Chains A and B, each alone.
Chain A
Amino acid sequence: MKQLFLLMTLICSISTGSFADSVNNHELLNDSSDQVLMRTVVPSSDQPQGEVQIIQRGDLLVVQTLIASRALKHVAAAIDKKEMKHWPEEREGYVASVRYREELFRATERVWTMFRQRADKSELRQYLVIEFILSSKQGLIALSVPHIAGDYGNLLLQEKEPIQVWKAPTHYVKGNMIEMIQDSFHLNKAAATELLETLWQKQRVESN
């Protein structure tokens, strides 16, 4: 019964997402005004697989993960494992996390298929952008296939093609942003929370 409930919740959630996709999210994803507040190479500069950037996008705050990895599935598997750890079944946000994991899996498969069909065989890295977007009204998650230039530490997102965009509960998006800041910038939970709150408050003051 519980599983059935979960399944239904998931279907509803995906439907809502699809609905959200139909809503024009162009503004929310438009990165032309992006201002990078903080950035770091993840998981480490020894074995770089991408960057996590904290971005100011108009009145939005975005934690953006640019993955540029020769082993995207491996990176996605690590994210999947962290999601399971951070969002256990009993925690509020679990359903949103299940949705995120499903979408991430599908996106990874899609990128792998595109990678196998690429024209330029000298290109060895696979790319994916994950954005956790926070506005005053809603939380949003977006997965996109990007064009990225530059090297780790200076990765430059030139353009991106959204694969999936969906609304997610604000507390889940915010919670995940904190987790990501904590992991990527090697902060403790309190410091990561404080950083996010400071940036968010500053953002709101500036946009008002």
Chain B
Amino acid sequence: MSSQQPDQVAAYTQFRDLFGNDEDLLLSVTPPHLLEPAGLDLIADLTRQIAEIDGVRQVLSLSNARQLVPGRYGAEDQPLLPQTDQYGNISVVIKKALQNNPHYEGLLVSADHRIAGLIIELVDRRADESLRRTLIQDVRNLMARYADRAEFHLTGVGVQKIDVADLIKRDQRVVLPLVVVVLMLLLGAIFRRLSGVLLPLLATVVSLIWTMGFYSLCGFDLNTISSLLPPVVMILAVSNSVHLYNGWLHIDGLDTQRIGLLSSKVDELLTPCFFTALTTALGLLSLTISGIPAVRQFGLFAALGAILSMLISLTLVPIFLSFLSLPEQRHLNGTGLLRWTLRNIAEVTIKRPKMILAVAALLLLIALFGLPQLHNNTNLVGFLRNNAPLSIDTDYIDRHLGGVNALEFMLTRRDGHALVTPDDYARLEKFELLAWEQLGVANVFSILPVLRQLHQAETRSHPLVLPMDGDELRYELDLLSMAGDQKLPRRFLTEDRSSARMSIWLHDIGSRSASETASQLLKLGESIFGSTYYLVPTGSYYQMIQDSNRLVSDMLKSFALSLLLVMLAIFLLLRSYKLTLLAIFPNIVPILWTLGLMGYCGIDLSTGTAMIGAVAFGLAVDDTIHYLVHYQRVFNGFADRAVRMTTTRIGRALMISTLALALGFWVGCFGSFKPTIYFSFLVGGTLIGALVCDLLILPSCLMLSSSRPKERSR
């Protein structure tokens, strides 16, 4: 899902080479009484057992945390807690130890000393997804085994990735069958014929198999975005079949001539079907300019699905229809209510086009006021429903321990020298101090707390301060590099001291706020470190918020490209500047309505919702194409006649296909992810809005733009 921006990828690769995996797991343990022997023994047991799991590099907890205390020759390394048989008044001992080691509070123990935190650092085996899955399952098995002794919560980027993958599989199992059921019910209700249900479904299933087959052959896995592919392809596929089947229902002639008649009907529908598939594909293809691989994959394969489904519908459906007898003519104009509705819609557009456009303009104005309230914000955990276990776990750990997402910063000197002068560390400390003041910052980790503690133990200084003397600093850095356990120092300072790492842990504040914090930190960093240093922000979380930042520009670019390509396709089809321009209006308006609604409802632009514009535009324009092609065909110089004939004759097919699309998308509301839910709901809504525009605004525009609007004016 994450970005492939070369500079970010390079920085992140360098970061992981220098400091290892940044995707730590966080486990909170809440026993009845943490600071009693039973509670501490539980932490020690868990720490030991988790450390033995394959793929775990180390576990940091209260039971194995170390502290530096003053000794005869300076700092002496000691366990933070006394041995089990020396617990005594453990509460007092811990409070004293934490006073001397404040960096552990909020990390290994909550401020109220009720909850313990275990930091599980993983080995850096980037491509080994199965290792991560097995490891997390092993930790969860342990949690289950000890469930009667404490309350557990587990989170971290690794857990998020695994759980999201599982939820995608769950959605595949739930949403896809639901789409099939909804389409069957809808097709059955509208066509009231078995063939009207089976043929579009057959075309849909074949299109889905082909598209997903290609996707799989290309070696891609499903993610939160590409998990939308199967339902979207199914919905796209049904649209062409509906138009073909509806066309077949309208064939008027003898059954003995059905092959010839069917062939003529396919000829008639071939052009609009081809162009609707083309415009849909172009709209989806415009997503391939996105910086996010998942969005690009979705755009590319959904476009492929649109084209494949058109080809399959235009071949499979007519072949099967050729075996069926021609339908009775009662199906010609649909049910009485539908016919009455379409006739009235046509009359209103003919008689009151200005009023319709005025209402549309008013709604548009209201929507425009909502646009400034639209913000980009991505939050992986926030994508989940509030009652999802991962969401609950993350929220718990975020509230009681120190944050769940880390912004990583790498500091190096531009002159290539090692970070060994007091000035280097004084600047880093200033940056640390200001980082604490930033929005959403829960904890800041670096080599500094270790150095401060070491300096205190070496010099018996109070309070905790950094060495200000060059010799003392070098000596203490040397001591660090000679420490028996190098894992902690190496986590924040490279062996040659050329690069230092600062991990700034944030509460679960979403990408928008996190991005502001990151920008502010960078600005502060530039003023603190000046031109002498490189301060590079990185880490998996930083990549995610950077991707989120690009969403708006990506969305605008995609939408502009989609608009351009679709309009070009429409112009090629209609060969009319006027009709091409008129086709834009009823398709842009519903998208602006939707975006305005998102602004008013506080729905953020995220990886999922940012695709609404391009996808909905490509789909919505299909109805416009069908309408304008028919309008052009029946236009005899008078707009009112052509509008009346078009609205009443193809309105039914437009309504059915739009309803099928909208309902198909709305099934996505049963998914596990909010972006999927919003995307599904809003695309469906936009398509309904577009249908309203095609049946009201487009005819009104045609009426007002015609030199001879009404037949009776002759």
Contact = CB atoms under 8 A, between A and B. Distances in A.
**Interface range on chain B: under 10, 10 to 19, 20 to 34, or 35 or more?**
10 to 19
B74 A70 contact: no
Contacts of B482: 47, 71, 74
Contacts of A124: 474
A71 B475 CA distance: 6
B471 A76 contact: no
A77 interface: yes
A47 to B, nearest CB: 6
B475 to A, nearest CB: 6
Contacts of B478: 70-71, 74
Interface string A114-133: 01100001001000000000
Interface in A74-98: 74, 76-77, 80
Contacts of A70: 474-475, 478
B74 A74 contact: yes
B712 interface: no
A73 interface: yes
A185 interface: no
Interface residues of A, number: 14
Chain A binding surface SS class: helix
A152 interface: no
B126 interface: no
B72 A105 contact: yes
A71 B471 contact: no
A177 B375 CA distance: 75
A50 to B, nearest CB: 13
A32 to B, nearest CB: 33
Interface in B469-501: 470-471, 474-475, 478-479, 482
A74 B471 contact: no
Interface string A44-84: 00010000000000000000000000110110110010000
A116 B73 CA distance: 16
B71 interface: yes
Contact of A76 (B73, B76, B470, B474): B73
B471 A77 contact: no
Nearest to A49: B482
Q: Which of A77, A105, A115, A116 has the most CB of B within 10 A?
A: A77
Of B73, B76, B479, the most chain A CB neighbours within 10 A belong to B73
A164 B470 CA distance: 29
Given A115-B471, A116-B471, A80 B74 contact: no
B471 A80 contact: no
A108 interface: yes
B75 to A, nearest CB: 9
A105 B73 contact: yes
A70 B497 CA distance: 15
A76 B479 CA distance: 13
B73 A80 contact: yes
B421 to A, nearest CB: 12
B474 A77 contact: no
Interface in B47-74: 71-74
A77 B74 contact: yes
Given A115-B471, A124-B474, A71 B72 contact: no
Contacts of A77: 71-74, 76
A74 B479 contact: yes
A124 B475 CA distance: 9
A74 B73 contact: yes
A124 B74 CA distance: 19
Given A47-B482, A74-B482, A80 B474 contact: no
Contacts of A108: 73
Contacts of A115: 471
A71 B471 CA distance: 11
Contacts of A116: 471
Contacts of A47: 482
A115 B470 CA distance: 12
A21 B74 CA distance: 29
A121 B474 CA distance: 12
A47 B484 CA distance: 11
Nearest to B472: A116
B497 to A, nearest CB: 12
Nearest to B469: A116
A83 to B, nearest CB: 12
A199 B294 CA distance: 74
27 contacts: A47-B482, A70-B474, A70-B475, A70-B478, A71-B475, A71-B478, A71-B479, A71-B482, A73-B73, A73-B74, A73-B475, A74-B73, A74-B74, A74-B478, A74-B479, A74-B482, A76-B73, A77-B71, A77-B72, A77-B73, A77-B74, A77-B76, A80-B72, A105-B72, A108-B73, A121-B470, A124-B474
Given A76-B73, A77-B73, 20 more contacts: A47-B482, A70-B475, A70-B478, A71-B478, A73-B73, A73-B74, A74-B73, A74-B478, A74-B482, A77-B71, A77-B72, A77-B74, A77-B76, A80-B73, A105-B72, A108-B73, A115-B471, A116-B471, A121-B470, A124-B474
**3 closest A-B pairs (Cβ-Cβ)?**
A77-B73, A70-B478, A71-B478
Interface of A: 47, 70-71, 73-74, 76-77, 80, 105, 108, 115-116, 121, 124
